[in-house]
Amino acid sequence: MPTIPPRRILLQRSLPDALTDAVAELDEAGAGWVNVGPAVDEEDLPPPTSGLGRFFGGTGPAVPHATWVAGGARRDGTRRPSQLGIEHGSGPKAVARLREAAVHVPPGWTVRQDHVRRGLVLSVPAGTPANVLVLFLLDASATLATVPVGDRWLADVYTG
């Protein structure tokens, strides 16, 4: 079976409409996922670490990488919650760091994991508006970045 390549979206953090529309479509279909990250200039990237350094290092990547996965249908017809994960290099207690920056986990969302290396994972209730999800994803990712991030972001949309 051939693999369908992702659809790439170039967006501005200040104008995320194309990403919001893609998330809304996948959420309605109950299938697919989106990978999102900032377009960081090479001179802003930290020097590469060795494989051993990454293995024993205490944090995740300097450039945040967010993934949202649509929630599918349960056998009884109700919707499963979607999942949002953000790998980041800002260290432990990401939720507290976000709160200090006035980026709050929306009401009803559940923190499933807040780990120094594996990142932040949230369960997002079915019916959450796509614009709320995208705004949180972008704001949280920018806040947890350990390199300068600007208004240019990339998203890869996977259907199915």
pLDDT score recorded for residue 61: 80
Total tally of structural domains belonging to the chain: 1
**For the residues 146-153, what does the mean pLDDT come to?**
93
The number of helices, as runs of H, and strands, as runs of E, in the chain is 4, 7
Residue 69 lies inside a defined structural domain of this protein: yes
Which pLDDT band holds residue 95 (cuts at 50, 70, 90)? very high
Residue 152 lies inside a defined structural domain of this protein: yes
Residue 13 lies inside a defined structural domain of this protein: yes
Residue 128 lies inside a defined structural domain of this protein: yes
**For the residues 108-134, what does the mean pLDDT come to?**
94
In this structure, the number of other CB atoms found within 10 A of the CB of residue 69 comes to 18
Domain limits at 92? 7-158
Residue 1 lies inside a defined structural domain of this protein: no
Q: Are 122 and 132 in contact (CB under 8 A)?
A: no
- pTM of the predicted protein model: 0.88
52, pLDDT greater than 70: no
CA dihedral 11, 128, 146, 16 (to 10 degrees): 10
Residue 31 lies inside a defined structural domain of this protein: yes
Residue 2 lies inside a defined structural domain of this protein: no
pLDDT score recorded for residue 65: 95
